[in-house]
A = this chain, B = another copy of it.
Amino acid sequence: MTLKLYVERMSQPSRAVLIFCQVNGIEFEEVSIRLAKGQHRTPEFIEINPMKQVPAIVDGRFKLFESHAIMKYLSRAFPGVADHWYPADVYKRAKIDSVLDWHHTHLRRGAGGYVLNTVLAPSLGLPLNPQAAAEALELLTASLDKIESFWLQPNGRFLLGSTQPSIADLSLVCEIMQLKILGKNGERILSPYKKIANWIDDTKEATAPHFHEVHSVLFKVKERLHHKQSAPDLHSKM
């Protein structure tokens, strides 16, 4: 039975899981769960993931959610996945676990909170919250500082000084990519970080052409938001 991925391409952890499967030649069926249409709250999806979040997978009779846990599982369960994605070496694996745990409470919270509270909230039926946006921006900037100064090391193109990408590179780069929908504001936030800019390019290159294809939805949303800003009297639907 084919692996099923329940994903929303506007969700950064969903994009990471999609790209991971494509790059590693894992066959899957993509089941689109549109958050803006409330498809994560249907009884059918709650059977898959009672937390009502994407991504989630079903592999035979096995159900799993949380993108980091999913990519770790796929790395172990599919023998074709190259070791560098989630190394068997106990020390390398521990460091990747550490980056991913750090990600939850720092970069993810900062980037996700900022994008949600500056542009995305209305499409999900939520109000924009400037105070929450300001707090998220502070955490986002502190997190980018740490990636630039600590997680990216002088040797190696990827996190932790690696020469090949891991699931941590994919997860963190997909998170940062959502800043692209902010247009000039996103560019301004990212502009001080030269190592991060190179690392994003290296991750794109290592996962081409899938990275670009999976992110194409982001660029469409960016254009639509930009169009709305230039012509505020026109209605557009997400």
Contact = CB atoms under 8 A, between A and B. Distances in A.
A64 B101 contact: no
Contacts of A104: 101, 104-105
B146 A50 contact: yes
A65 B150 CA distance: 13
Interface stretch (A18-26, A91-99, A227-235): A91-99
Task: Quickly give the copy total for this chain.
Answer: 2
Interface of A is mostly: helix
A148 to B, nearest CB: 12
Given A146-B50, A150-B50, A90 B64 contact: no
Contact of A68 (B51, B65, B67, B101): B101
A176 to B, nearest CB: 18
Most B CB within 10 A of own CB, among A69, A93, A108, A146: A69
A144 to B, nearest CB: 14
Contact of A98 (B64, B102, B146): B64
Interface of A: 50-51, 62, 64-70, 72-73, 76-77, 90-91, 93-95, 97-98, 100-102, 104-105, 108-109, 146, 149-150
